[in-house]
Amino acid sequence: MVGGKRSGGAGLVAGDIEEYLRRHKAKSLLRFITCGSVDDGKSSLIGRLLYESKMIFEDQFAALRDDSKKVGTRGGELDFALLVDGLAAEREQGITIDVAYRFFTTEKRKFIVADTPGHEQYTRNMVTGASTADLAVILIDARKGVLTQTRRHSYLAALLGIRHIVVAVNKMDLVGYSQEVFDTIERDYRDFAHQIKLEAITCIPVSAVVGDNITSRSTLTPWYSGPQLLEHLESVAVPDLAEGAAFRMPVQWVNRPNAEFRGFAGLIASGVVRRGDALRVLPSGRTSTVARVLNSEGEALLGRAGESVTLTLADEIDVSRGDVLAAADAPPAVANQFEATIVWMHDEPLLQGRAYLLKLGTKTVIATVAPIKYRVNVNTMEHLAAKKLDLNDIGVCGLELSTAIAFEPYSDSRVLGGFILIDRLTNNTVGAGLLHFALRRSQNVHWQALDVNKRARALLSHQKPCILWFTGLSGAGKSTIANLVEKQLHADGRHTYLLDGDNVRHGLNKDLGFTDEARVENIRRVAEVARLMVDSGLIVMVSFISPFRSERRMARALVEAGEFIEVFVDTPLAQAEARDVKGLYKKARRGELKNFTGIDSPYEAPEDPEIRLDTTRLTSEAAASRVIAYLREADIIDVGYDPGI
Amino acid sequence: MSALDYLQRLEAESIHIFREVVAECEKPVMLYSVGKDSSVMLHLARKAFAPAQPPFPLLQIASGWDFREMLEFRDATAKKYDLELLVYTNEEGERAGVKPWTHGAAYSDIMLTQALRQALDQYGFDAAFGGGRRDEEKSRAKERIFSFRSAQHRWDPKNQRPELWSLYNARKNRGESIRVFPLSNWTELDVWQYIHLQQVPIVPLYLAKPRPVVRRDGRLIMVDDERLPLAASDRVETLSVRFRTLGCYPLTGATLSTADDLPAVIGEMLATKTSEREGRGVDKDGAASMEKRKQEGYF
């Protein structure tokens, strides 16, 4: 072992091993993250900790020596950063670009370190690392002081519920171990930390490269009387509060090996469960008592926070994956509207009104992003107006779920308050979020203040109601395209309705023929129905030949500006006749159909339609995509409805 | 009531991972390499689903050059626990006469990496459990617990899904799959300690006993059967050796040792001066080789 004895393990005779293992097993675990700006020396610090805690093997050390000469940034001196910068790409670039987990052990503790990147565009990785950490080590380059990134990372650490912060003021060797420099940085940092309610802060002057105050007290900082880094990490108390809280367990899997056994498997999020305890199933609210507790060793008297168990209940009640089992007398709340903080992690922005999959505990539901209340400027903590969140943005917004779920505020429970958002098409994890509280109408002044009108309904459904008026010759493809558009909108969670010419003539308009007067009345009725539907908040698709300009103008006048979108499905008569899907043109040519548009009744093409679809060039699918793209551009979908206007 | 110790926490986390996969994936499989990590994985899987059986089969990629004791142990284990065992060999490679000493680095690519991909495709598995640990190697340290693979089985280290809390995103499109590493947060010592505490059965090759070996490129190679080509100058010695990792016998170096029980093995491990992977021939082609092989679909 390089650097000496490894955690007291070397040289043990077999008889001591059992004793060694007992001591080792009794060690507690501390998970921490290191974060800081590019070149603050995070990787060097971790490499140094691994080295000093004797975790470097001889072959790894030999590789380090070779690598330091080949690609090191220290002029052939040992470059500890190379021990942890794993991926070839980042070794070439000289920066860490992803979360890496490192393991080391000292006499007192076991550690899992998440090395998280400093570059701004990789904030998502920092959040990932922070989500499982008890403590954060934030590096500050002594020459640069508190930077934007320092503030961002501290804010994220606070946001994700990390209560213990170590500020490692690094590269002290490059500022002549100046107490003044250190004191200024400490003061700046504490001022800032106070604003974001970070309390447990320890500042340590270090040099990761030289090794000052990492595992031993440096003689070059005689003015510093606090702990050195490793000493602090070994001794800081991080009590686990989950066990003292009320019992909660998200059900992962129902275990049914045979008709006699029906067990509910899960990892206990908080509290203790015993045989005979009364439990409540959420969201259904049904109750039962615990018949058996099985843990990893078999039948047990109790299960506690952190354990994976299987419970059986005394009664045959409906329980499935995604439900939460909880203490019957202290169940968590159930709701389907929330205020949440979202950290956006994808190149495609988060948009108001768009639906995502939300996974919380073991439950996955559809979540629609209600209006974004504000975006946080992480440098100033200012709240900024926003209609979308870009990669690495943090915002507070409303969320509306397809189903009610059991939850707790994130500040009380990471398990029942932390969630991820998943894109429904690509299945990528695109965001992470923290639930704060349930929104009820009464709590939401904005929504309460509005009368129930078109805007209020639209707000609930997160779309701008409108009429998509498809006009064109018989057989042009109106209904086919409208149908595809509706399918896409529906898949996106939009509320839609398709009024189809043929279908409406079977009911509402079955008394009307095909004379010019009847055609006008036909359109008038449909336009009125469409108007009512727009008022109810729907995106209405009207698929009617509607040959006359004046009736289309009348329909347009019934609704507000911007709510009528004329879609001209442009197919030359010759082509529509050649297709003749329903055989109507043939009939009309034979004189069996009177007043057939294009044959013996005129079609007045739109002069200035919002959308023109040339079906000689576009497939139906491409045409439908064009319509969806228009809706997006026109803020009909994807960008939410602003209630403030 | 004392707090859970860290091994109990690791065990609970691994069981949680097994259950998430079974709940969210259509057709999982467990990659069973017969090594100590596989033994621990199997032990945890049996706990995760008890009293039911683990609801997935075991898959072993047999290169044709596995230690005989591994194959015996594999079959005995499957029989003892009444588990479905699938054994897959790249027959094309076998017919082409690909041997450990004839094709160099291409051997493990053809007989292990390619074979694994073929097997996953043939059976249509959408999730595969592997015994990889983050403490093993630098590029593993960055691997997610649920690691997404394209339809071509490729790993894109720059485009990994963020993994927060204990929330795993197992969603994927048809043809895509995930590799899942329930032992991600275990260290080598944790694995040994768990084997010791839980009396997890392991292949006897991990314990020292006199075995026939020859010296090759500074390593001790066990003469496991008559197929190992021996030169006239080769001297077969019987030495007390054991193995720290297991793979294809002509590529796996033995360690001189007298540790014939677990405490002794752990004692040696604590005092050891080289990392676990050093005994494996396949990792010698430069520091980035592991990452490259993972991108290509190696476990």
Could you tell me if A485 and A624 lie in one domain?
A: yes
Instruction: Point out the residue among A99, A310, A359 whose CB comes nearest to the CB of B167.
Output: A359
**The pLDDT of residue A83:** 65
| Residue A7, pLDDT score | 41
Q: Assess B151–A contact: CB distance below 8 Å, yes or no.
A: no
Q: Does B193 touch chain A (CB under 8 A)?
A: yes
Q: What percent of chain A has pLDDT over 90?
A: 45
pLDDT computed for residue A121 by the predictor: 55
CA atoms of B147 and A223, how far apart (whole Å): 48
Confidence of residue B298 (pLDDT cuts 50, 70, 90): low
Q: What is the pLDDT of residue B285?
A: 43
How confident is residue B13, by pLDDT bands cut at 50, 70 and 90? Answer: very high
The answer to whether residues A45 and A163 belong to one domain is yes
Q: Report the CATH number that the domain containing residue A316 is assigned in CATH.
A: 2.40.30.10
A28 part of contact set with chain B, CB < 8 Å: yes
The predicted pLDDT at position B232 comes to 85
Q: Residue by residue, what is the 3-state secondary structure of A497-556?
A: EEEEHHHHHHCCCCCCCCCHHHHHHHHHHHHHHHHHHHHCCCEEEEECCCCCHHHHHHHH
Task: Point out the least confidently predicted range of A213-222, A280-289, A433-442, B166-175.
Answer: A433-442
Task: Give pLDDT, residue B67.
Answer: 96
A601 labelled catalytic: no
In the numeric block, which tokens belong to residue B45? 């899987």
pLDDT score of A280: 95
Domain that holds residue A504: 454-633
Residue A262 contacts B, CB cutoff 8 Å? no
Q: Is B108 a residue whose pLDDT tops 80?
A: yes
Phi-psi group of A216: left, alpha or beta (phi > 0 → left; psi -120 to 50 → alpha; rest → beta): beta
Mean pLDDT of A468-492: 90
**Between A and B, how many CB-CB pairs are < 8 A?**
205
As a whole number, mean pLDDT of residues A213-241 equals: 90
Q: Does A359 touch chain B (CB under 8 A)?
A: yes
Query: DSSP states of B81-123 as a string?
Result: HT--EEEE--HHHHHTT--TTTSTHHHHIIIIIIHHHHHHHHH
Backbone φ and ψ of A617, nearest 5° = -110, -25
Q: Is pLDDT of A642 > 80?
A: no
Please give, rounded to a whole number of angstroms, the shortest distance from the CA of B62 to a CA of chain A: 29
Residues of B in Cβ contact (< 8 Å) with A423 = none
B219: contact with A, CB 8 A cutoff: no
Q: Which of B166, B180, B213, B196 is nearest to B261 (CA)?
A: B196
- Say what the pLDDT of residue A3 is: 37
Verify that A355 and A261 share a domain, yes or no.
no
- Domain identity same for A419 and A474: no
A66 has a pLDDT exceeding 60: yes
Do A473 and A607 belong together in one domain? Answer: yes
A135 — phi, psi (to 5°)? -150, 150
Residue in the structure block whose two tokens are 């018949």: A291
Rounded to an integer, what distance in angstroms lies between the CA atom of residue A541 and that of residue A553?
16
Final residue of a domain: which of A389, A416, A442? A442
Question: What is the pLDDT of chain A when averaged over all its residues?
Answer: 84
- So what's the pLDDT on residue A104? 87
Contact predicate B211/B238, CB 8 Å: yes
A367 and A472, same domain (yes or no): no
pLDDT tier at B193 (50, 70, 90 boundaries)? very high
Residue A345: list chain B partners with CB under 8 A: 162
Give the per-residue pLDDT at A54: 65
Note whether A251 and A245 are within 8 A (CB).
no
With residue A264 as reference, give the H or E element that holds it. strand A261-267
Rounded Cα distance between B67 and B70, Å, is 5
Q: Read off the amino acid at residue A385.
A: A
Longest dimension (CA), chain A: 107
Q: Which of A267-271, B76-80, B238-242, B281-285 has the lowest mean pLDDT?
A: B281-285
Both A422 and A535 in a single domain? no
Does position A91 have pLDDT exceeding 60, yes or no?
A: no
B163/A89 Cβ within 8 A: no
Rounded to an integer, what distance in angstroms lies between the CA atom of residue B169 and that of residue B181?
14
With H, G, I as helix, E, B as strand and everything else as coil, classify residue A14: helix
Tens of pLDDT, residue by residue over A132-190, are 999 999 999 999 999 888 888 899 899 999 989 999 999 999 999 999 999 999 999 99
pLDDT by residue (tens digit) across B137-152? Answer: 766 777 889 999 988 8
A250 and A213 housed in the same domain = no
Lowest mean pLDDT among A379-393, A461-475, A628-642, B278-292: B278-292
Instruction: Indicate the residue of B158, B267, B274 with minimum beta-carbon distance to A57.
Output: B274
Tell me if residue A440 falls in helix, strand or coil: coil
Domain contains A1: no
pLDDT above 70 for B180? yes
User: Is the Cβ of B218 closer than 8 Å to some Cβ of chain A?
Assistant: no
pLDDT band at A79 (very low <50, low <70, confident <90, very high): confident
Q: ipTM of this model? A: 0.91
What pLDDT sits at residue A11?
A: 46
The pLDDT tens digits of the residues spanning B113-169 come to 899 999 999 999 999 999 999 988 766 777 889 999 988 888 887 778 889 999 999
Is there a domain that residue A3 lies in? Answer: no
**The pLDDT of residue A6:** 39
Q: How far apart are CA A444 and CA A450, in angstroms?
A: 11
Mutate to test the interface with B, among A116, A156, A240, A267 (most CBs of B within 10 A): A267
- Where residue A95 sits, what CATH number does that domain have? 3.40.50.300
Which helix or strand (DSSP H or E) is residue B223 part of? none
Segment A610-619 mean pLDDT: 90
Q: Is A341 among the domain residues?
A: yes
Contact A240, A137 (CB under 8 A): no
Backbone region of residue A338 per phi and psi (left: phi > 0; alpha: psi in -120 to 50; beta: other values): beta
Under the banding of pLDDT at 50, 70 and 90, the label for residue B2 is low
Inter-chain residue contact B273 with A58, CB threshold 8 Å: yes
Average pLDDT (A73-87) is: 64
**Domain stops at, among A214, A235, A256:** A235
What integer pLDDT is reported at residue B190 of this predicted model?
Answer: 92
The shortest C-alpha distance from A545 to chain B (Å) reads: 39
B-chain residues within 8 Å CB-CB of A11? 271
CB of A219 closer than 8 Å to CB of A177: no
Residue A313 vs residue A600, higher pLDDT = A313
State the pLDDT at residue B293: 58
Residues on chain A touching B187 (C-beta within 8 angstroms)? 103, 105
**B187-204 mean pLDDT:** 94
- Predicted local confidence at residue B177, as pLDDT: 93
Please, are residues B133 and B191 in contact by the beta-carbon 8 Å criterion? yes
- SS3 string, A179-228, reads HHHHHHHHHHHHHHHHHCCCCEEEEEECECCCCECCCCCCCCCCCCCCCC
Q: Of the candidates A235, A254, A288, which is a domain's last residue?
A: A235
What pLDDT does residue B284 have?
Answer: 44
Whether residue B247 is predicted with pLDDT greater than 60 in this model: the reply is yes
Instruction: Give yes or no for residue B282 having a pLDDT over 70.
Output: no
Q: Which of A296, A359, A362 to mutate against chain B (most B CBs within 10 Å)?
A: A296
Nearest to B141 among A63, A100, A257 (CB): A100
Is pLDDT above 90 for A209? no
Nearest CA distance, A388 vs chain B (angstrom):
20
In this structure, the answer to whether residues A174 and A104 fall within a common structural domain is yes
Q: Is B274 on the interface with A (CB under 8 A)?
A: yes
Indicate the number of domains in chain A: 4
Same domain, A63 and A146: yes
Contact of A71 with chain B, judged by CB distance below 8 Å, is answered with no
CB-based contact (8 Å) between A125 and chain B? yes
A116 touches chain B (CB under 8 A): no
Q: Which of A377-386, A537-546, B32-41 has the highest mean pLDDT?
A: B32-41
Best probe of the A interface among B138, B159, B190, B192, by most A CBs < 10 A, is B138
Are A132 and B264 an interchain contact pair (Cβ–Cβ within 8 Å)? no
How far is residue B141's CA from residue B132's CA, in Å, rounded to a whole number?
10
**A118 pLDDT higher than 70:** no
Do A434 and A468 have their domain in common?
Answer: no
Same domain? A101 vs A197: yes
pLDDT > 70: percent of chain A: 86
- pLDDT of res. A644: 30
In this prediction, residue A5 has a pLDDT band, given cuts at 50, 70 and 90, of very low
pTM of the model: 0.75
- Asked whether residue A153 is assigned to any structural domain, the reply reads yes
Mean pLDDT score, B187-207: 94
* Residue written as token pair 């199933």: A281
The answer to whether A566 touches A574, Cβ cutoff 8 Å, is no
Residue range A328-365, pLDDT digits in tens = 999 999 999 999 999 999 988 998 777 899 999 999 99
Chain B CA closest to residue A67: B287
8 A C-beta contact, residue A503 and residue A558: no
Alpha carbons A317 and A218: distance in angstroms, whole number: 64
Residues of B with Cβ-Cβ distance to A7 under 8 angstroms: 270
Backbone angles phi, psi at A437, to 5 degrees: -160, 165
Which of A216, A546, A550, A625 is catalytic? The answer is: A546
Q: Looking only at Cα atoms, what is the longest distance across chain B?
A: 66
Residue A176 falls inside a structural domain: yes
